[in-house]
Every structure is written in structure tokens, then in C-alpha cells.
């Protein structure tokens, strides 16, 4: 599949703070590409450089074969950027905001189909400030897509939305993708990354830590674990067990989590030791990790992908 975005060895510092550190990735046409990472990881800086809103220090960024710094005017008509709700005037009506953006993009229509999809038809005469959080987010999405861009950049699109509104937002984003639009989305909701994105890049301290389909990322060895309770299994013995990568222990609950490369042989060993030493095990289960687990693993371990 064709790459519509290529980022190569991107660097950006603010004074002595390195916000983006030698970052490289590419985005394929028609995918939902997630950029995930904790607060301050460099997500906004990266997305704003791609949008042409921020200057890079070094590296290459190609958006639809163009340079976002030099070709910004042309690119503005081919990419859509979802602005933060705070950048829209409170006393502007929905229809006025739509007209304004239509004028900016030289479009005569105000995205009627999109408005229907977003459920905003009834809200045309409502002031922006009187919309609910979900409606505001949907309006900013409508404004970003009015000119039918080929790529849409969304910075935390479901921030502040309740779970129902968040799912609605995901459906809208998926339908844009299904119509051939490429979507780049930053999020720090791991569930959003897992359920919405086709591929995710995990960044931390401005560096790429992992990049793959969410389901393949959680296939990562460290994302599998065994959980059980035991009042007497010595923690030190678990640490020494072959194949164990990490042990978590909740003393209050006598609960353990063993992260392992090999669930089967680790389980065999666990029960073998318990049998020989007469330790007690209960509530035993295998668990497949989620992106949340992987995220915590990378943050704690700090290993590179």
C-alpha cells in the first residue's frame, strides 16, 4: 500500500528539551494510524510538524509527496486538521463556523452529509458555547473534513467524551477511513488505540518504542502473564523461575502477576514448585495482555522495540 506520510529521522528540541528524538515511521493510504504515548511524549509536536504548524530542527517529513513547511498552502487543501474546541469563538453559531471554514476552503457546500452523519443538522443555530462536549468535538471534526481532505489529523479526538460519545466518534472516524481517507490520530487512551487504530506507533521521550498493528503489539512476549494468588509462594523464588520476565506482587491480596515469554512452561514450573514445596495457589489464570500492559511495560522497562 502506498505511503502517504513519511517521517524520517525527525528531531525537535525546545531549548535543552528534546521533544522528538530521531523519529521515523510511515503512514499508509487509507489507514487509521495512532500515535500513542504518555503526557509529554512528543505526540502533539510530531503531529503539528506533520501539519506544517511547527518547524522541525532536522529530518525529513513528506506529506502526500510534499514538504509541509514549504508546501503548506497547497497541502492545506488536501489535509484536514481538527482544531481544539478552545480555538472556536464561543458566540459563533454552528452554521457560521461551517460557512467560515467553507469560505476558507473555497467550498460552496457546508458538508451536509457529514453534518447528518455527525448529528449536527439540528444544531445549526446553536452557539458553539451551548453545544455539549461531544457535539463540540463532532463540530471540530466536521470543520476538519469539510473540504474532503485526503489525510485528517486528529489530536486527542475523544478527549473529554463519555464512553458512548467516544464510540460514536470512533464510528465516524472509521467511516471516513472506509471512504478512503487516511487518518492520523494521537491518543493516550489505550482502548482507543486498540479498538480504533489499524496500526499504532508508541512514543516515549520523543523516541519510537514500538510500531505495529495493536493486536500484534500485544502479542509481544511481555504482554502475556499468569495471575494467581498465593499466601506462601516466596517472591524471590518467582523471580528466579526460568522464563519469567517480571513479577508483580500485591501484598494485601496475596496476588501475583508473572510476565513470561512462554505461558505453558512457566505454568508447568509454577505448579511443579508449588507441588514440591507445598505452596498454595488459587485464582490461577492465563491472561493476554492489552496495550495498557504493553504501555506500562515499555514505560517501566524502557526497552526499545
Ligand X SMILES: Nc1ncnc2c1ncn2[C@@H]1O[C@H](COP(=O)(O)OP(=O)(O)OP(=O)(O)O)[C@@H](O)[C@H]1O
What does the binding site for ligand X look like in residue numbers (CB under 6 A)?
14, 17, 19, 37, 39-45, 188
Nearer of residues 21 and 26 to ligand X, judged by Cβ:
21
Nearer of residues 53 and 92 to ligand X, judged by Cβ:
53
153 strand-pairing partners: 81, 184
DSSP SS3 for 150: coil
Nearer of residues 215 and 304 to ligand X, judged by Cβ:
304
At closest approach, how far in Å is the CB of 14 from ligand X? 3
81 strand-pairing partners: 153
Nearer of residues 98 and 291 to ligand X, judged by Cβ:
291
Q: In what order do the strands lie in the sheet with 79-81?
A: 79-81, 151-155, 182-187, 32-36, 199-204, 207-212
At closest approach, how far in Å is the CB of 34 from ligand X? 13
Contact 223, 229 (CB under 8 A): no
Nearer of residues 41 and 211 to ligand X, judged by Cβ:
41
Contact residues for 179 (Cβ-Cβ < 8 A; gap 6+): none
At closest approach, how far in Å is the CB of 43 from ligand X? 3
DSSP SS3 for 90: coil
**Rounded to whole angstroms, how far apart are CA atoms 25 and 47?**
12
Q: In what order do the strands lie in the sheet with 3-14?
A: 17-28, 3-14, 58-63
At closest approach, how far in Å is the CB of 99 from ligand X? 31
At closest approach, how far in Å is the CB of 13 from ligand X? 8
Nearer of residues 25 and 256 to ligand X, judged by Cβ:
25
At closest approach, how far in Å is the CB of 187 from ligand X? 9
Nearer of residues 44 and 290 to ligand X, judged by Cβ:
44
Nearer of residues 131 and 155 to ligand X, judged by Cβ:
155
Closest CA to 222 of 263, 251, 191: 263
Question: Alpha helices, DSSP H only, in the chain?
Answer: 43-51, 72-76, 94-104, 112-118, 133-145, 163-178, 190-196, 214-217, 235-240, 263-277, 291-301
At closest approach, how far in Å is the CB of 161 from ligand X? 16
Long-range contacts of 22-28 (CB under 8 A, 24+ apart): 22/59, 22/207, 23/59, 23/203, 23/206, 23/207, 23/208, 24/59, 24/208, 25/201, 25/208, 25/211, 27/3, 27/151, 27/182, 27/184, 28/1, 28/2, 28/3, 28/4, 28/182, 28/199
At closest approach, how far in Å is the CB of 16 from ligand X? 10
Amino acid at each position: 500500500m502506498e505511503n502517504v506520510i513519511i517521517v524520517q529521522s525527525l528531531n525537535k528540541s525546545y531549548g535543552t528539551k528534546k521533544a522528538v528524538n530521531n523519529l521515523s515511521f510511515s503512514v499508509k493510504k487509507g489507514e487509521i494510524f495512532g500515535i500513542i504515548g504518555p503526557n509529554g511524549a512528543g505526540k502533539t509536536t510530531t503531529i503539528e510538524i506533520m501539519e506544517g504548524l511547527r518547524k522541525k530542527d532536522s529530518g525529513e517529513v513528506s506529506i502526500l509527496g510534499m514538504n509541509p513547511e514549504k508546501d503548506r498552502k497547497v497541502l492545506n487543501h488536501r489535509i484536514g486538521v481538527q482544531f481544539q474546541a478552545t480555538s472556536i469563538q464561543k458566540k459563533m453559531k454552528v452554521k457560521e463556523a461551517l460557512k467560515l471554514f467553507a469560505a476558507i476552503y473555497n467550498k460552496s457546500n457546508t458538508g451536509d452529509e457529514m453534518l447528518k452523519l455527525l448529528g449536527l443538522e439540528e444544531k445549526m443555530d446553536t452557539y458553539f458555547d451551548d453545544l455539549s462536549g461531544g457535539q463540540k468535538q463532532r463540530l471540530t471534526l466536521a470543520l476538519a473534513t469539510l473540504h474532503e481532505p485526503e489525510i485528517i489529523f486528529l489530536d486527542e479526538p475523544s478527549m473529554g467524551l463519555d464512553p458512548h460519545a467516544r464510540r460514536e466518534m470512533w464510528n465516524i472516524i472509521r467511516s471516513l477511513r472506509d471512504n478512503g481517507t487516511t487518518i492520523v490520530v494521537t491518543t493516550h487512551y489505550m482502548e482507543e488505540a486498540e479498538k480504533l487504530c489499524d496500526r499504532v506507533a508508541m512514543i516515549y521521550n520523543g523516541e519510537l518504542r514500538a510500531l505495529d498493528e495493536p493486536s500484534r503489539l500485544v502479542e509481544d512476549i511481555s504482554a502475556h502473564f499468569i495471575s494467581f494468588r498465593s499466601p506462601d509462594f516466596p517472591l524471590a523464588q518467582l523471580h528466579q523461575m526460568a522464563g519469567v520476565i517480571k513479577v508483580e506482587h500485591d501484598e494485601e491480596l496475596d496476588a501475583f502477576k508473572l510476565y513470561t515469554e512462554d505461558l505453558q512452561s512457566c505454568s508447568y514450573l509454577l505448579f511443579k514448585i508449588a507441588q514440591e514445596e507445598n505452596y498454595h495457589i488459587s485464582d490461577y489464570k492465563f491472561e493476554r495482555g492489552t496495550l495498557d500492559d504493553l504501555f506500562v511495560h515499555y514505560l517501566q522497562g524502557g526497552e526499545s522495540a
